[in-house]
Structure 1
């Protein structure tokens, strides 16, 4: 996570917030009240419908109620961060694991999660932080021995059962992996190839077929 992220106040101007996002190369900034409690977050998305951009009326929604229309009017014209920020902020604490962070970001289609220690902001986790985790990863060590390789591939294929229409037959002889069976699509072929390469390294004898046709 990014510790002690740059923040703004609800009383700051939207222009000030925009300048911070540009200078810090971030797409959102936490908003802290005078007592240090997280009040919201202001993001690029909050500033898309603005009179400065000529987009204040660009996305009319006839189904909106009067309160929503009034809210949109204020958000597109007010100079105060407190008027345009998102207030229903999803947060995490310092013990939240990576899997849960990814799930929250994906489910709610957001780019960042403030990290809280009780009611105090201590950092922020963004999609860029998750990319850093991926970038520092390494391939699994290759497994040696024909039977050990076969068992490892079969186990991983079983773990991927929901993505495959059927489990292929796997044999390993002299370090060469042979995979046979009928599959549903090229995507299944790619999934099987990925699993085999992850265990035994690149290259395997491919006797898979899609609807009776050999995969080329």
Structure 2
């Protein structure tokens, strides 16, 4: 089974100039943990909920979270805090190989690129669903 058979093709993305507050709302609205940052159709980076939380609380103890400092950080363009070195996979890669990439790099999401074009996104959940479907199909065959 290949990545393009199980990936999500309608990818929620953001622009590097979008503010952290807007991205947090998108993550909440679409119930996703992260999204590719795209400019003119090209992948620029990736931003996750964890990246944002780490940025908002950077250098602060839990007891000293400064509301005004966090509000300032909410207006930061996501391009300034995104992960720029993004690990990607091609759509033709077997999902077993994509799973290995996720495990090796300790990541849950892989943007899928055809050349330089973002064509999908693969999550651990996509892989688990595909494996579950495969196992169900095998059980039906064995009957």
Alignment TM-score > 0.5, same fold: yes
Unpaired segments ≥5 residues, structure 2: 1-6, 62-71
Give the secondary-structure state (helix, strand or coil) at the position aligned to 2:118: strand
Matched residues, number: 122
Moved over 4 A (4+): none
Pick aligned residue for 1:6 from 5, 12, 24? 12
Once the two structures are TM-superposed, the CA of residue 58 in structure 1 deviates from its matched residue by 4.1
Equivalences for residues 146-185 of structure 1 within 5 A? none
User: How high is the TM-score relative to the length of structure 2?
Assistant: 0.78
CA distance in 2, matches of 1:84, 1:45: 11
The answer to whether residue 24 in structure 2 is matched with residue 18 in structure 1 is yes
TM-fit CA distance, 1:118: 0.7
State the partner residue of 2:77.
Answer: 80
CA 117–20 in structure 1, closer or farther in 2 if over 3 Å, else same: same
2:90 and 2:10 mapped to 1: Cα distance? 14
The runs of 5 or more residues in structure 1 that have no matched partner are 60-75, 143-216
Matched, 1:107 2:104: yes
Q: Does 1:43 align with 2:40?
A: no
Matches of 1:81 and 1:17 in 2, distance apart? 8
Indicate the residue corresponding to 2:67 in structure 1. Answer: none
Post-superposition Cα deviations, 1:167-193, rounded to whole Å, max 9, x if no partner, equal: xxxxxxxxxxxxxxxxxxxxxxxxxxx
By relative contact order (CA 8 Å, sep 6+), the higher-ranking structure is: 2
Larger radius of gyration: 1
The structure that is strand-richer by fraction is 1
Q: 1: CA distance between counterparts of 2:106 and 2:55?
A: 22
- Give the alignment's Cα RMSD to 1 decimal: 1.9
